[in-house]
Structures are given as C-alpha cells and as structure tokens.
Structure 1
Amino acid sequence: MKVVVVSDGPFGERAYDTIKKEFECEYIVLDIPKPESIDDFTEFPNEQLEKIKSADILITYTLNPDITFDLVEQVYDNVGYVIVGAWKGKGLKNQLESFKNVICPDIMCELVENGNKIFDEFVSKFGKPKVEIKVENNIATKINVIRGSPCGGTDFVAKDLLGKNISDISTKAGLRIQHYPCRAGRIRLFSDEESGRYKAATFHHDAFEKALKKKSGE
C-alpha cells in the first residue's frame, strides 16, 4: 500500500506523519503558482505528477478548487482511490465524486469501509475512530487505537486518557480531540467550522463509549 499526500503548503503534514507509521507514504508539496496567479498555471511538474500517479491512495489537501479538480481529473484513472481532504462547495464535491474512485469527506475521521479493496485497506487503519480499552479498578490501563483519525488526533487522545478513571472518559475523549487542536472545518473550508469540530468530538466520544460497553459485556 502506497499513500501519497499532496498539499499546496498549509495542510497535510500531520496526516503524512501519522500515516507513514502504518503505510509507505510520501508527502508532496506542489510546485504551483500562488492563487493570485492561478490563471498562469498550465501544468503540474512532471516528476511530481508521476509520483502521484504511482499511489494506491491519494490524499489531497490543496486549497484552490481549480488545482484540486485539475489534479484529480488527471490522475484518478491511475491511482486506486482519491480522498479529497480539502474542498469547498457542494458543486465541487459533486464534480469530484462523479469520478468512480473519489470521495470528499466532510472530515477525515468519518471514513469507513465502502467495499473497495484498496480504500478498505487504508480505512482499516485510518478513519472513523475505533479503540480498545483495558480496565483495572475503573482505570484505563491500556488504550489500543485500532483505527484513528489521519491527523493523529486519536493517538493524542488515547495517550492523554491513559491512566484516567473511566467514569467520564468518553466525554473527555470528545473534549480532548478539540484540544489537539482539531482542524476539522478549516481544512474542509466549512462556513461553519464548529460543525466539523462537533462531528470529530462526537466520533471520538462514541468510539470510547463503544469500547467501554464492549468491555463490560465480556
């Protein structure tokens, strides 16, 4: 499994640092003009484009919608699956997802299996949080992250809550992900940033709640 993370600068490095722990991963910052000179843009550097086309999973964090669409249009047939981590507007989302192997999630920690073999292999490790908790005397003595957010937030929460009392650990998980800090909203270009942050908090709360219920049912 080869993952390529593509950015135009502001976002993507955290995902690269997290994903490379599980899969072969490359981080590419595109050599493209600044937004004010986008009309002068003609093509992506060939060397970078060939590296991108070699990906099983491509994750884009390019903020300019024209650049994002042009890139996806050029490479979607070559890569296994494309995850658009930054996009703006339902129109662009619909255009991008008209390609057979492209998904534009609201936030990266909502990804779940969809039946595509390559995508599901990636999502077995990264996407909607899933954890296992070992408990002794109402204390979380071990927290395994089975599937975590690509940004590394789930790992951050798990380490922070290790050794804590489980009585309110689910609520704390939802709060702590926002202290990572969670970039949901800014990276998605939401008009309502809090919507993405709320989703991320809910997903992490639910993951810890589910782990505790499973533990109590053993």
Structure 2
Amino acid sequence: MRISVLYSGEFGKKVLGNLINSDQFCTSCGEACDHCRQGRKSYSGFLTEIHELPADLPEFVEEPEEYLPADLKPCDLLLAMDLHPDLFASLPTVAKKAHAKALIAPVENPKLAPAGLVRQVAEKLQNEEVEYAFPKPFCSLEKTGQPVIDRFVEMGFGKPKVEIILDNEEITTARVIKDAPCGCTWFVARKLVYTEAADFKETVSSAHHAYPCTASMDNDPEIGDTILHKAGYIIRESVDSALDKAQKENANDR
C-alpha cells in the first residue's frame, strides 16, 4: 500500500516514527530500554511522500494551496494529521490530486477539526468516492468496511489490543497485538511487565501520560470530555480486557 503523509507538529512525528520503527524512535525507557520493538515490522517502504506543514500559521489562511504540496505522487492512502483548519478543509482537493483511494485524518485537537468542518470534508470526499475516516482520537480507529482503511488497520494500527500472561496475579508478559498509531501501546505494555494485575489502572495511566499522549486537553463537545481522556480510557479498557482473558485462562488451567 502506498501511503502519503501530511502533518504538522509532534503527533505526526510520533505516528511517522512508529510506522518507520527506527531504532531511535522510542526512547521513553531511556537507559532501561530492552529493545522490545526490534521484532516489529517497519513500514517505511510503504511511504510514498512525507510533507511536514507549518504549524504557526495565521488564524485565517486565505490561500491554503500556498502551504500545501503542489504535486503529490499517486497514493492509496493519504494520512493527514493536525493540520490548520483551512488546510484541513482543502483535503478533498489534495486527495483528488494524489488520486488517493482513502483519507485518514485523525482528530486529536477539536480546535483544528471542529465537527462541522469534519462533516463538510466528509461530504466532499463521499462525492468523490474517496474512503474516509476521522477517528477521535487516532487510537479509536477500527475496521470500517472500507477496503483501504481496513488494510491500514490490518497492518496493526488503530484501537490497541494486547495479550497478557499472568503468574498468579503478576503480569509476566504483555504483547502488543495492535498498536495505537502513535506507538504508545508498546510503552504501556512494557511498563505493565512485572507489575500486579490489581494495580493495572494506575500503571496504565502513568505510562500513558509519561509516553506522552499528545492528544488535546481541551474539552470536546462531541464526546463530552477531552480527547486525551478518551485515549486513556481506550488503552485502559484494552488492558482490562486482556487481563480478564488471562485470568479466565488461568482459572481453567487449575
């Protein structure tokens, strides 16, 4: 799959780093790093183009094309992250120029992609028969029934899924089955190892903030909470589900 990326800011850098999976990407464990990500596949060969767009733009951008790439190579998936609202509004035009079959534009900051603007962009993409998803946050992405977007999810990115092995009530193994696109799931999984299952909520919350999650702390009227909090709930529910499964398996083995 050919993926072109447009992004502004730190979140896009994290997603790119996770896709590429270079040995310098995750430094969250510092000197305690045990290179847990070494066996994970790199998708650098899937990346057709990468464009970092300016984040310090004026409140209103009258000519967004001045800041967008003039030409884009054909791609299957256009990934757009944390763009200025006026650049976000131009995404259907960008997708058309790139002959993109699908667009994923995660909403990590409600000020950059308010609900009304997202609906307008979605309508234009639908008219152009371009697949689209606007996950809020990116780690809420699941299969949509749209082939190209589902292929991205099948690559192992979207709503986190982990597998846990318990020794009594101690977590001895935490494997990442599906990773949050920013890479946070690997860090959370690493921090869970050799902790008590009963303490998982505190462990997950601490790791999620320490990674750190860069989603907005502004209240989002559509979800009635902050996007950062929603991301925290998602990874906590994923770990809770994995623990429940591990505990049931242990009970059946007795």
**TM tier, smaller:** 0.7 to 0.9
Whole-angstrom CA distance in 1 between matches of 2:166 and 2:215: 30
CA apart distance, 1:189: 9.1
Mark the CA change 1:33 to 1:128 in structure 2 (over 3 Å): closer, same or farther.
Answer: closer
Is residue 104 of structure 1 aligned with residue 128 of structure 2?
Answer: no
Whole-angstrom CA distance in 1 between matches of 2:232 and 2:167: 26
Name the residue aligned to 1:27: 50
Whole-angstrom CA distance in 2 between matches of 1:138 and 1:5: 42
Mark the CA change 1:81 to 1:166 in structure 2 (over 3 Å): closer, same or farther.
Answer: same
SS of alignment partner, residue 38 of structure 1:
coil
CA apart distance, 1:196: 1.0
> Do 1:184 and 1:193's aligned partners in 2 also have CA atoms closer than 8 Å?
no
CA deviation map 1:71-90 (0-9, x unaligned): 33331572232111244212
Amino acid corresponding to residue 206 of structure 1 in structure 2: E
> After the TM superposition, which residues 19-98 of structure 1 pair with which residues of structure 2 at under 5 Å, given as runs?
19-21=19-21, 22-23=42-43, 24-25=46-47, 26-30=49-53, 34-35=57-58, 38-43=61-66, 44-46=68-70, 49-51=71-73, 53-54=74-75, 56-76=76-96, 78-86=99-107, 87-98=112-123
Whole-angstrom CA distance in 1 between matches of 2:91 and 2:204: 36
Name the residue aligned to 2:188: 157
> Do 1:7 and 1:61's aligned partners in 2 also have CA atoms closer than 8 Å?
yes
- Aligned residues between the structures: 213
> Do 1:13 and 1:27's aligned partners in 2 also have CA atoms closer than 8 Å?
no
CA apart distance, 1:143: 1.1
CA deviation map 1:107-146 (0-9, x unaligned): 1111011111221121131111110012223222221111
> After the TM superposition, which residues 8-23 of structure 1 pair with which residues of structure 2 at under 5 Å, given as runs?
8-21=8-21, 22-23=42-43
Mark the CA change 1:14 to 1:5 in structure 2 (over 3 Å): closer, same or farther.
Answer: same
When the two chains are superposed, the root-mean-square deviation of aligned CA atoms in Å is 2.8
Mark the CA change 1:203 to 1:34 in structure 2 (over 3 Å): closer, same or farther.
Answer: closer
Mark the CA change 1:174 to 1:204 in structure 2 (over 3 Å): closer, same or farther.
Answer: farther
CA apart distance, 1:4: 2.5
TM-score, normalised to structure 1, is 0.83
- Ranges in structure 2 where 5+ consecutive residues have no aligned partner: 22-41, 250-254
CA apart distance, 1:9: 4.4
Whole-angstrom CA distance in 2 between matches of 1:122 and 1:157: 22
> Do 2:165 and 2:173's aligned partners in 1 also have CA atoms closer than 8 Å?
yes
> Do 1:112 and 1:128's aligned partners in 2 also have CA atoms closer than 8 Å?
yes
Name the residue aligned to 1:139: 170
Amino acid corresponding to residue 187 of structure 2 in structure 1: F
- Ranges in structure 1 where 5+ consecutive residues have no aligned partner: none
Whole-angstrom CA distance in 1 between matches of 2:12 and 2:145: 26
- Which of 192, 196, 204 in structure 1 is aligned with 2:227? 196
TM-score, normalised to structure 2, is 0.72
CA apart distance, 1:33: 9.2
